[in-house]
Amino acid sequence: MSPRLVPHATDPVRRMETPVTVTVDGEPVRGIAGQTVAGLLLASGRTAWRATGSGAPRGVFCGIGVCFDCLVTVNGERDVRACRRRVHEGDAVSTQARDERGER
């Protein structure tokens, strides 16, 4: 009951799989070279990784860099569109929450 990668062995495009490991909120997650961060997160069974101002979960919506729903922080850089950023070995991905802001 979740998104997944087309199994390598049966994929008619006959592609290679070069393993890549990134961390997501500190936890190691394996993917393959060429995936976007969004593709990797979906293929690892995640459908949501961002919390909106109201706390609602969000993941990919448009998949082509237009809707900005899939924003993540990559190696400390916030607001990266997960659907547009290819993964690199060792990337530290962290999820973002847009909490209600207090005054000070």
* Binding footprint of another protein, residue count (CB under 8 A): 56
- Number of other CB atoms surrounding residue 6 within 10 Å: 11
27-32 β-sheet, strand order: 27-32, 19-24, 92-94, 71-74, 77-81
Binding to another protein, residues 17-56 (CB under 8 A): 18, 32-36, 38-39, 42-43, 47-48, 52-54, 56
In this complex, which beta carbon is closest to another protein, that of residue 83 or of residue 93? 83
d(CA 2, CA 47): 8
- Which residue lies nearer to another protein by CB, 23 or 75? 75
CA quadruple 94, 95, 96, 97: dihedral sign: negative
Positions that interact with another protein (CB under 8 A): 1-7, 11-16, 18, 32-36, 38-39, 42-43, 47-48, 52-54, 56-69, 71, 76-79, 83-84, 86, 98-99, 101-104
